[in-house]
Each structure stands twice: as C-alpha cells, then as structure tokens.
C-alpha cells in the first residue's frame, strides 16, 4: 500500500515519521515562544506588584515628596499622580478632536489617493521616536518659556493623534453602507449623515480609541523628560508651570541610591502600571465588542 | 420653485450647504494642521542641529569623541550602540515573534487565541520606564550573575562575550529591546497569517502535509513581504527607544563592540541622558544632530515598510 500512495511530500515511511517529528518539534517551539512571552509579562507584572504593593501606603498617595534634615527623600508622590492626570488630560483634550476630525476627513471626504497619503503621514508620525518628539517640543515651547505641563501635554498629544485617528478611521469604515445610503436617501447632506448617523454608530469605537491612546500616553516618558522634568515638590494645578508625573518620578527615583526613593519608584510604577493595564485591557475588550455590534447591524 | 414656499427652502439649503462646507472645512483644517506639525517637527529638529552640522559636517558620523571640554562631538560609538542593540534584539525577537504569530493563528485552540493574543499585546502596553525599572532592579543583576558568567565561560573566545559581568551594560539593553519588539512583530504577523486563504492551507493539509509544513511552505512564503515590513517596524521601534535603554545600558560613550557586558549608549538613550545637562550650545546642537539621524532612519524605515505593506495588500486584495 505504501508504494501505491504517492504523496508530493515524500513516501510515508521513515521519512514521514521524521516529518511528523519535525512538525511536532516546531509546533512545540511555537507554543514555547508564546509561553515565553506570557512568562515575561507575568514576571514584570509580578515584580511590580510585589515590590510596589509593599511600598504603597496611604501616606504615599496623600503627601508630596519632601527632604528630611539629613537630605533623605521622604513623603509621597501625590503631586506626580495629579500631574499625570492633568498632563494626560490636556493631551487628550487636544488629541481627541484632531484625531477624530482627521479620521472623518479620511473616511468621508478624501479621495482615495488623498486618504492613502494622509494615512502614510499618520503612520510616519506614529513612527517618529518619542524622544525626537520631545526634542521638537523642547525647541518649540520650552526654549524661552521653561518647562511646563502644557508643553508636556502637547508632546503627548502628538503621540496620541495617530493612534486615535487610525483606529477611529477603522471603525468609521466598519459602519455599514446601508446606513450611509439610508441617510442620503432621506435627503440628508453628507455632513448631516456624518453627524447624525455615522458618528453615533461609531462612537463606541472612538471611545475605545481614546482609551487606548490614553493608556499609551500616560506611560510615555521621553517626551516629558525633555519638556517637564524639573518640578517642585508640591501640587500645582496651573498648566503653565512644570508638574511632577508618574513616569518622571519612576525615572528619576530609580536612579537614586536612597532606599526610600526606590520604594517610591516601585509604588509609582504599580499605580501607573495598574492604570495602563486596566485601560489597555478595557480598550481592547470594548473594541472587540463594538466591532461585533457594528457588524451585527449589517 | 413655485410650488414650494420660498421662505422655508432657501434658508434650509443655505444652512445645509453651510454645514456641509463647515464640517468638510474643519476636518480639512485638522489634516492641514497635522501636515504643518510634521513639517515644523522636521524643521525644528534640523534647525537645532544646524550649528553642529556646520561645525562637524558629515564627519560627525565617523568621529568617536564626545568631549565637552574640547567641544568635540561625534556619533560613531552611539551609532554603533544603536545598531548593535537593535540588531541583537532583532536576532532573538524575529523568530520568537513569528513563532508566536504562527501559534496564535494556526496552532492555538480557538478559546485560547483571544486571551493569549491579548497578553502578548499587553507586553507592548507596559510603559517603557517600568520595563527599564525592572531592567535595573531585576534583569540587570540576573544577567550579571547568571547569564554573563555563562556566556563568558562558553563563548568568551569571542571578544563580544568576554569581560567582567556588570549590572548595567549593552546586554540588558538588548534584552529589554527584544521584549519591546516581540509584541509588535507578533501581532502584525498574526494578522498576516490570518489573512492567508484557508483553502490554501487546507489544500496542503489534504495532500498530507503536516501543520508545520503548511506553515513553512504555505503561510510564511505567502506573507513574506508583510513579515519583512513587520520586522522593519520593530527595528524602527528599537532604534528610537530612549528611556528603557538609558536606564539599563550604563550611558557611556564607548564602542559596544568591545564587550556587550560593558556600558555603552545608543543615540536615543544619549539624548535622554545628556539633554537636560548640556554645557555648551554646540553640545546641545550635537544632540539635535543625533535626533536628525534618528528621525531620518525611522522615517526611511517606516516609509519602506509602508510601501511593502501597500504592495502586499494590493496583491492579497487582487487575489481575493
């Protein structure tokens, strides 16, 4: 029988046993690679949780940093938590309208060639190293004005715009053509169709795009390092002044020899990572759900 | 016109036309501002680098000095550091990430695909500063006590793997970049493998091919262009990573080819560590020069990757 069956992959014999073995081995290696990636994630998350949880206490989040009589760091990181919220908040306020308007232009108004060109530009902007974005905003807003929260926010918004624009455009493209045509058939103009039919259908997708962009921006350090890295040890609400931020606190404290500064760094890392991971997971699950929902309306 | 009352139709059309032009105008303005911002970015960085460029010219790239006292600056060691760390990371990350892509698209049971894929993507969501902190406290010491002595013992005859172990150095930076690159390449390659028509895969299976043979002889060749683009995007990410590298590499202007156990620096990490303490205008301008080099490499890599992806999309689209 074995001589009759001719497989293009060789005769089923010792050769086929070897092929099966090689196949099993490679499948095992692929599985191993996935396990390794998950293991690294678990290792990092575990290290941050273990060290961060032992460092985290109520004083840390309710007090600002201070220096005791011996020059040691004490106190908490309240100013950095509030600073990160403000900086990321302003960045979001800038980036969301821009990102969504660019996406609408691409999906609804641009010719195919223009849309391709804009998509290329967005991808290029997303590919610019974040440290270069920091250098750019340093030259644009920091020179002559000094460090400020709004300079950091502008730098972060440059990181956020391509993320929001690209994923919003994807969601807009998922809106069924019937809805669009229905609007037109009722005599609505293109703008009216966009505002009253397409945007409400796609709003879930835009919210998840924003969440994912915030998750990315909240942890960005390089743009803030060059725009807002020297700040007072107190809570500031004025965006024209420099403020502390969680990424900056982690970066600066990690380099200090003091045990307490190390504690602060891990506690800040825990708070930041918990926020970023929750936002990233929520964003991804929501995007799966809203995609499914839009597809159901087809 | 005579049938409809003029009072209601005229203002309405004017208003709707206004809305139409208004929305289109606002959206178009956002796009224009986007393009202007990118132009400003390029101009600003090039402008800042001008002093250094007019002083050192292209010799900046081949000079190894970084001396504030004599005001001599050059990027060669930093360029070497950038290339060595990124290429090292690519060598580990590319096969691992493609294997993960294959696992997620071909091998994993359906219930596991979403959670495992999510976990791989979360690896990319961890802020680089936290990965760097972990690199300083956990990975660095582990590398110094376990990995480097082993490498030195078995591969010490290669200069790259010889020398005394140290917590901060090129090797931990390479490993951190590997960790950052894997999720990027893995999630793109998963999408690519998912796009391979299942008739092709099933046809091969029906002919008696093993699952591995389907992956190697059908799936990978089908999407090889896209895989190259994915690798380029991962590479672009690695050369531009400043913070995590600055935290673990030891920040020293030295050639990384001496030994990967020793401290060195990359262009991006050097900007991060030097920028806030510049002593002279020429030094700051030289950091801008580094930013220009980074910008050029990342723009070229991204455009090339984009062109490959577009061509690839057309091919796939044409077939389907």
Domain match, B42 and B74 both: no
Domain match, B172 and B281 both: yes
- Smallest Cα–Cα separation from A240: which of A157, A150, A143? A150
Instruction: Please report the DSSP string for B101-164 in residue order.
Output: HHIIIIIS-HHHHHHHHHHHHHHHHS-HHHHHHHIIIIIHHHIIIIIHHHHHHHHTTSGGG-S-
Domain match, B171 and B193 both: yes
Are B299 and B281 contacting, i.e. CB atoms less than 8 angstroms apart? no
Q: What kind and span of H or E run contains A75? A: strand A73-75
Confidence (pLDDT) at B21: 80
Domain match, B254 and B233 both: yes
> Among all residues of chain A, which has the CA nearest to that of B17?
A189
**Distance from the B154 Cα atom to the nearest Cα atom in chain A, whole angstroms:** 24
Measured between CB atoms, which of A124, A161, A250 is closest to B303?
A: A124
Least trusted range by pLDDT, from A251-260, A288-297, B19-28, B103-112: A288-297
Q: What does DSSP assign to residue A186?
A: T
Domain match, B14 and B95 both: no
Confidence (pLDDT) at A13: 75
Domain match, B17 and B73 both: no
Phi-psi region of A152 (alpha: psi -120 to 50; beta: other; left: phi over 0): alpha
Residue B252 Cα to chain centre, angstroms: 23
Contact B136 A254 (CB under 8 A): yes
* Percent of chain A whose pLDDT exceeds 70: 95
Q: What does DSSP assign to residue B6?
A: H
Per-residue pLDDT averaged across A61-70, rounded?
A: 79
Q: Domain boundary at B39, B56, B73, which?
A: B56
Contact A34 B37 (CB under 8 A): no
Are A175 and A198 contacting, i.e. CB atoms less than 8 angstroms apart? yes
Q: Domain boundary at B38, B56, B74, which?
A: B56
Tokens 């190697």 belong to B216
> Among all residues of chain A, which has the CA nearest to that of B184?
A37
Are A184 and A193 contacting, i.e. CB atoms less than 8 angstroms apart? yes
Contact A37 B24 (CB under 8 A): no
Q: Domain boundary at B56, B81, B96, which?
A: B56
* Percent of chain A whose pLDDT exceeds 90: 53
**Distance from the A69 Cα atom to the nearest Cα atom in chain B, whole angstroms:** 27
Q: What is the mean pLDDT of chain A?
A: 88
Confidence (pLDDT) at B16: 65
Domain match, B93 and B143 both: yes
Nearest-angstrom CA–CA distance, A115 and A103: 9
Judged by a CB distance cut-off of 8 A, whether residue A104 touches chain B is: yes
The CATH number of residue B239's host domain is 1.10.3720.10
Nearest-angstrom CA–CA distance, B163 and B155: 11
Domain match, B166 and B226 both: yes
Confidence (pLDDT) at A298: 58
Domain match, B171 and B315 both: yes
Tokens 């502008």 belong to A154
> Among all residues of chain B, which has the CA nearest to that of A27?
B212
Confidence (pLDDT) at A144: 86
Alpha-carbon distances of A100 from A94, A106, A279, rounded to whole Å: 11, 10, 20
Confidence (pLDDT) at A132: 96
What is the ipTM, given to two decimal places? 0.89
Between positions 124 and 183 of A, the ones with CB within 8 A of B are 124-125, 127-133, 135-136, 138-140, 158, 161
- CATH of segment(s) A65-296: 1.10.3720.10
Domain match, B145 and B7 both: no
Confidence (pLDDT) at B320: 37
Confidence of residue A297 (pLDDT cuts 50, 70, 90): low
Query: pLDDT tens for residues A135-155?
Result: 999 999 998 888 999 999 999
Domain match, B95 and B173 both: yes
Burial zone of A226 (CB within 10 Å; 0-12 exposed, 13-18 middle, 19+ buried): buried
Alpha-carbon distances of A267 from A36, A74, A231, rounded to whole Å: 26, 13, 19
Measured between CB atoms, which of A32, A129, A269 is closest to B294?
A: A129
A169 chain-B contacts, CB cut-off 8 A: none
Neighbour-count burial for A261-281, b at 16+ CB within 10 Å, e otherwise: bbbbbbbbbbbbbebbbebbb
Contact B127 A221 (CB under 8 A): yes
Number of domains in chain B: 2
Query: pLDDT tens for residues A15-48?
Result: 888 888 999 999 999 999 999 999 999 999 999 9
Q: What kind and span of H or E run contains B100? A: helix B76-102
Looking only at the bridges linking them, the beta strands covering B72-73 and B66-67 are antiparallel
Are B97 and B185 contacting, i.e. CB atoms less than 8 angstroms apart? yes
- Smallest Cα–Cα separation from A242: which of A108, A86, A123? A86
**Distance from the B98 Cα atom to the nearest Cα atom in chain A, whole angstroms:** 8
Nearest-angstrom CA–CA distance, B310 and B302: 12
- Smallest Cα–Cα separation from A190: which of B314, B25, B157? B25
Confidence (pLDDT) at B12: 54
10-residue stretch averages of pLDDT, chain B, 320 residues long = 43 64 88 95 95 93 90 93 95 96 93 92 94 94 91 86 86 95 94 90 89 90 90 93 94 88 93 89 94 95 87 60
Are A155 and A133 contacting, i.e. CB atoms less than 8 angstroms apart? yes
pTM: 0.90
Measured between CB atoms, which of A33, A51, A109 is closest to B96?
A: A33
Query: pLDDT tens for residues A192-228?
Result: 888 888 888 888 889 999 999 999 999 999 999 999 9
Measured between CB atoms, which of B133, B299, B306 is closest to A269?
A: B133
Confidence (pLDDT) at B318: 45
Domain match, B214 and B239 both: yes
Between positions 38 and 97 of A, the ones with CB within 8 A of B are 38, 40-41, 43-45, 47-48, 51, 97
Both tokens of A193, joined, read: 């169709």
Q: Domain range holding B34?
A: 1-56
Nearest-angstrom CA–CA distance, A8 and A21: 18
């Amino acid at each position: 029988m074995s001589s009759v069956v001719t497989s293009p992959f060789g005769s089923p014999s010792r050769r086929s046993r070897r092929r099966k073995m090689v196949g099993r081995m490679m499948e095992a290696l692929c599985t191993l690679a996935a396990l390794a990636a998950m293991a690294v994630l678990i290792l990092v998350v575990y290290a941050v949780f273990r060290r961060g949880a032992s460092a985290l206490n109520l004083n840390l989040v309710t007090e600002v940093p201070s220096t005791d009589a011996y020059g040691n760091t004490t106190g908490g990181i309240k100013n950095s938590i509030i600073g990160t919220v403000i900086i990321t908040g302003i960045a979001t306020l800038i980036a969301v309208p821009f990102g969504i308007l660019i996406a609408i232009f691409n999906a609804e108004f641009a010719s195919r060639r223009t849309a391709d060109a804009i998509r290329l530009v967005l991808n290029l902007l997303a590919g610019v190293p974040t440290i270069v974005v920091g250098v750019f905003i340093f030259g644009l807003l920091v020179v002559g004005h000094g460090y400020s929260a709004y300079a950091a926010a502008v730098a972060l918004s440059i990181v956020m715009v391509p993320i929001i624009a690209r994923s919003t455009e994807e969601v807009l493209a998922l809106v069924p053509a019937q809805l669009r045509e229905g609007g037109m058939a009722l005599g609505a103009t293109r703008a009216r169709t966009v505002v009253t039919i397409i945007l409400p259908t796609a709003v879930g997708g835009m919210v998840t795009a924003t969440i994912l962009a915030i998750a990315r921006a909240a942890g960005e350090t390089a743009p803030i390092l060059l725009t807002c890295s020297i700040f007072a040890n107190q809570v500031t609400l004025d965006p024209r002044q420099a403020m502390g931020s969680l990424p900056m606190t982690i970066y600066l404290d990690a380099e200090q020899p003091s045990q307490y500064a190390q504690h602060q760094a891990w506690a800040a890392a825990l708070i930041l990572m918990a926020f970023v991971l929750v936002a990233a997971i929520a964003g991804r699950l929501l995007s799966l759900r809203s995609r499914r929902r839009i597809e159901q309306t087809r | 016109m005579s049938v409809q009352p003029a009072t209601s139709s005229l203002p309405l059309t004017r208003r709707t036309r206004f809305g139409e032009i208004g929305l289109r105008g606002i959206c178009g303005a956002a796009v224009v501002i986007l393009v202007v911002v990118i132009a400003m970015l390029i101009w600003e960085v090039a402008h800042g680098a001008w002093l250094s460029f007019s002083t050192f010219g292209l010799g900046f790239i081949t000079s190894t000095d970084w001396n504030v006292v004599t005001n001599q600056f050059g990027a060669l060691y930093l360029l070497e550091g950038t290339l060595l760390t990124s290429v090292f990371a690519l060598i580990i990350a590319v096969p691992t990430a493609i294997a993960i892509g294959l696992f997620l698209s071909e091998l994993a049971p359906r219930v596991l695909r979403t959670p495992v894929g999510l976990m791989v993507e979360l690896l990319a969501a961890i802020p680089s500063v936290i990965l760097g902190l972990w690199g300083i406290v956990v990975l660095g010491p582990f590398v110094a006590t376990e990995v480097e002595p082993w490498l030195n013992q078995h591969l010490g005859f290669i200069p790259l793997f010889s020398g005394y172990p140290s917590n901060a150095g090129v090797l931990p930076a390479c490993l951190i970049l590997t960790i950052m690159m894997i999720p990027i390449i893995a999630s793109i390659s998963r999408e690519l493998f998912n796009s391979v028509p299942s008739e092709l895969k099933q046809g091969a299976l029906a002919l008696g091919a093993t699952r591995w043979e389907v992956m190697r002889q059908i799936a990978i060749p089908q999407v090889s262009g896209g895989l190259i683009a994915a690798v380029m995007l991962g590479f672009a990410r690695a050369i531009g990573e400043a913070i995590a590298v600055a935290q673990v590499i030891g920040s020293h202007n030295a050639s990384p080819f001496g030994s990967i156990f020793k401290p060195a620096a990359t262009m991006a990490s050097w900007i991060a560590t030097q920028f806030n303490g510049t002593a002279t205008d020429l030094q700051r301008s030289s950091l801008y020069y580094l930013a220009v080099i980074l910008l050029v490499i990342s723009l070229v890599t991204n455009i090339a990757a984009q062109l490959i992806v577009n061509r690839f999309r057309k091919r796939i689209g044409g077939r389907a």
